[in-house]
Amino acid sequence: MYPSLILFILAARAIPLSVAWQQQCESFTADSATSVKDLATIYYPAGCLVNVTSPWSTLTTTGLPAFCRLKFDVLTNPATGKTAGAELWLPDDWNSRMLAFGGGGWSGGGKYTTRKTVSAVATYTGSIAIVVPFGPMGVDGVAQGYASYGTDGGHISDWLDGSWGLGNDDAMIDFGYRAVHSTVIASKALTSQYYGKDHSKSYFSGCSNGGRQGIKSMASYPEDFDGLIVGSPANPFGRWIPWTLQQSLVMQPVNSSKWISNPTWGIIHQEILRQCDALDGSSDCAQVLDGYLHDPKACNFRPELLTCRPNSDPTTCLSIDQLESFRRLYTTYVDGDQNYLSAPYNLGGELLWGTHGVSTPAPWQMAEHYYKYFVLK
**DSSP string spanning 220-266?**
H-TTS-SEEEEES----HHHHHHHHHHHHHHHPSTTSTT---HHHHH
Per-residue pLDDT at 130: 47
Q: Are 91 and 22 in contact (CB under 8 A)?
A: no
Per-residue pLDDT at 13: 58
**71: confidence class by pLDDT, cuts 50, 70, 90:** very high
Q: How far apart are CA 358 and CA 123, in angstroms?
A: 46
pLDDT over 90 for what percent of the chain?
62
In this prediction, residues 65-79 reach a mean pLDDT of: 96
Residue 94 has pLDDT above 70, yes or no: yes
Q: How far apart are CA 369 and CA 241, in angstroms?
A: 10
Per-residue pLDDT at 126: 38
**113: confidence class by pLDDT, cuts 50, 70, 90:** very low
Residue 165 has pLDDT above 50, yes or no: yes
Q: How far apart are CA 64 and CA 135, in angstroms?
A: 11
Close Cβ partners of 124 (under 8 Å, ≥ 6 residues apart): 42, 114, 115, 116, 118
Average pLDDT, the chain: 86
Q: CB burial class (10 A; 0-12, 13-18, 19+) of residue 214?
A: buried
Residue 33 has pLDDT above 80, yes or no: no
**121: confidence class by pLDDT, cuts 50, 70, 90:** very low
Query: Could you give the domains of the chain?
Result: 3-235 (3.40.50), 240-375 (no CATH)
Q: How far apart are CA 238 and CA 333, in angstroms?
A: 13
In this prediction, residues 254-283 reach a mean pLDDT of: 90
Strands (DSSP E) found in the chain:
36-44, 50-53, 58-61, 67-77, 82-91, 97-101, 111-117, 123-129, 147-151, 201-207, 227-231, 333-334, 340-342
Per-residue pLDDT at 160: 86
Considering all CA atoms of the chain, what is the largest pairwise distance in Å, rounded to the nearest integer? 88
Q: Cα–chain-centroid distance for residue 279?
A: 33
In this prediction, residues 56-68 reach a mean pLDDT of: 87
Count of all residues that appear for the chain in the document: 377
Q: How far apart are CA 36 and CA 46, in angstroms?
A: 27
Per-residue pLDDT at 243: 87
Close Cβ partners of 160 (under 8 Å, ≥ 6 residues apart): 105, 106, 365, 366, 369
Q: Are 303 and 326 in contact (CB under 8 A)?
A: yes
Q: How far apart are CA 377 and CA 375, in angstroms?
A: 6
Per-residue pLDDT at 246: 87
In whole angstroms, how far apart are CA 257 and each of 46, 58, 245, 250, 289? 59, 41, 19, 11, 34
In this prediction, residues 296-323 reach a mean pLDDT of: 95
Read off the pTM. 0.84
As beta bridge partners, residue 50 has 61, 116
